[in-house]
Amino acid sequence: MSEVRVRFAPSPTGVLHLGGARTALFNYLYAKNQGGKFLLRIEDTDRERSTDESTKAIIDAMKWMGLHHDEEIVFQSKRVDAHLEALNTLIKKNAVYKCYCTAEERNTAREKAEAEGGSYIHRCDCRDATNEKELPFVWRFRMPKEGETVFDDIVQGTIVTQNLEIEDLVVARQDGSPLYNFVVVVDDAFQRVSHVIRGKDHLTNTPKQIQIYKALDLPVPRFAHLPLILGLSKRLRSAGVESYRDQGYLASGLNNYISRLGWSYGDQEIFTFDEIIEKFDLTTVNRSEGSLDLQKMEWVNQQHIQNAEGRLLAKEVVVFLEREGFSVAADDAKLLAAVETMRARAKTLVELARNLKFYFVADDALEYDEKAREKFFTSVALDRLRGMAEALTSVDEWSEENISACINDFIGAQSLKLKDVAQPSRLALVGRAAGPGLWETMVVLGKTSTIARLSLAEAI
């Protein structure tokens, strides 16, 4: 089989939203699964709507997702000569004609077609006119009027379109500036794209493009049109990948979640990135629409936070700790240990960072949950905490084992149970009555902080 070459071809007019990210991801997965190439083409011919910020946002988002492209990025706007050359080929072959119809004439024809209950397909006399006019014009493609255009879509199955139903689309303006359905063909052929994988919203463009390939004598690629993504509000659906990054998603979590919008592998829900690449199969992408579900998305992310390698997780969370006002080095031993005590509870890195704050705050600046303080910091409890602090000074090697032995001796001597001191101690150490295991919290906090916080606990 010849080499698999796929491309992601965004128009840089906004952020990389989840739909675009899914298209990019599926292209990447297919390429990597097949040992092929993943190409990036920025479709920036619409100079009014395209912006450099958007190009940058898309490239940054792809980088964050780990979707590294092969070969150089192709900027469509830099290929003007190639587009003109292709237009000239079409002109020479008489595959296009000058259409002089005005916008007004087209509107009237559209209104008439719609009033008659049909949809508008542009047809006019310009196609067969023999005389040139000194009027503004556009280049329209001479679509065959007979026969049908058939293609076998990898996801959607066989798609048959009657050629009579395909309009003579405009391929270029008078000045030669080309339009989407035309340039996409020229550029896909230039990049030797073997498979065009894109959203189903492009399905009706494909027969038009196939006819242009044929007119230019270019090999027609395979097509795969992905199901649409529904669910959530339009605002959330169109939020950029970077907003999910900022909300504390791991790239592996987000990739896992969006890979499942249209693709599945038995009942398996959680995949590493390498595993998705290995298992991804375009032929098993389903036709039905995927629906966004934030709760599911968080749950998937939580699994990735739980499974992530400790050092990697620490590296990811420092940015979020920084935002909370704590500057901690990614390889800080306390951070590495702290992450292990809190990771199971966090759905996002934002949550993880917030849960980790208490470890890094100065001992005398720890804030207590007000309700818990009223409930647990009774004068009896505070005396016991001071007693525990005193007892702990004798622990030399600061390990969970030695700490628990010391505290158990302390409570045993006073005929107490662990539950009599557990909540007040946790509140004194963490600032909340809930938190990780007492011994592990103490180990991570260290001896000095533990003793200081137990002694500093105050009712008011």
- Helices (H), ranges, 393-459: 400-413, 418-430, 438-445, 447-456
The rounded distance, in Å, linking the Cα atoms of 7 and 176 is: 25
Nearer to ligand GLU, 24 or 101 (CB): 24
Under rule CB under 6 A, residue 202 binds ligand GLU: yes
Under rule CB under 6 A, residue 221 binds ligand GLU: no
- In degrees and rounded to multiples of 5, residue 369 shows phi and psi of -65, 125
Nearer to ligand GLU, 11 or 259 (CB): 11
Nearer to ligand GLU, 7 or 343 (CB): 7
* Residue type at 75 in one-letter notation: F
Nearer to ligand GLU, 62 or 407 (CB): 62
The dihedral through the CA atoms of 216, 218, 222, 225 has a sign that is negative
Under rule CB under 6 A, residue 354 binds ligand GLU: no
The distance of closest approach from Cβ of residue 241 to ligand GLU in the complex, given in angstroms and rounded to an integer, is 15
Angle between helices 379-392 and 418-430 (to 10 degrees): 80
The distance of closest approach from Cβ of residue 237 to ligand GLU in the complex, given in angstroms and rounded to an integer, is 15
Under rule CB under 6 A, residue 9 binds ligand GLU: yes
Estimate to the nearest angstrom the gap between the alpha carbon of 205 and the chain centroid. 25
Question: 183, 184, 352, 428: which one contacts ligand GLU (CB under 6 A)?
Answer: 184
* Owner of token pair 């070969």: 71
The distance of closest approach from Cβ of residue 199 to ligand GLU in the complex, given in angstroms and rounded to an integer, is 7
Helix (H/G/I), strand (E/B), else coil: 210: helix
Under rule CB under 6 A, residue 316 binds ligand GLU: no
Under rule CB under 6 A, residue 198 binds ligand GLU: yes
The rounded distance, in Å, linking the Cα atoms of 330 and 334 is: 10
Binding segment toward ligand GLU, per CB under 6 A, in 5-13, 245-253, 360-368, 409-417: 5-13
The rounded distance, in Å, linking the Cα atoms of 210 and 349 is: 46
Nearer to ligand GLU, 184 or 349 (CB): 184
What are 369's two structure tokens? 């949950």
Under rule CB under 6 A, residue 55 binds ligand GLU: no
* Owner of token pair 């509000």: 233
Nearer to ligand GLU, 239 or 406 (CB): 239
Nearer to ligand GLU, 204 or 448 (CB): 204
HSE of 323, CA atoms in CB hemisphere, 13 A: 13
Residue 72's beta-bridge partner residues? none
Evaluate whether 380 touches 459 at the Cβ level (below 8 Å): no
Helix (H/G/I), strand (E/B), else coil: 119: coil
Task: List, in order, residues 6 or more apart from 63 with CB less than 8 Å away.
Answer: none
Nearer to ligand GLU, 141 or 359 (CB): 141
The rounded distance, in Å, linking the Cα atoms of 154 and 236 is: 29
Task: List, in order, residues 6 or more apart from 49 with CB less than 8 Å away.
Answer: 11, 13
Nearer to ligand GLU, 196 or 445 (CB): 196
Binding segment toward ligand GLU, per CB under 6 A, in 9-17, 166-174, 262-270, 326-334: 9-17
Under rule CB under 6 A, residue 43 binds ligand GLU: yes
Binding segment toward ligand GLU, per CB under 6 A, in 4-12, 152-160, 171-179, 245-253: 4-12
Enumerate residues 435-454 that contact ligand GLU by CB under 6 A.
none
The distance of closest approach from Cβ of residue 34 to ligand GLU in the complex, given in angstroms and rounded to an integer, is 18
**Binders of ligand GLU: how many residues, by CB under 6 A?**
7
Under rule CB under 6 A, residue 11 binds ligand GLU: yes
Contacts to ligand GLU by CB under 6 A: 9-11, 43, 184, 198, 202
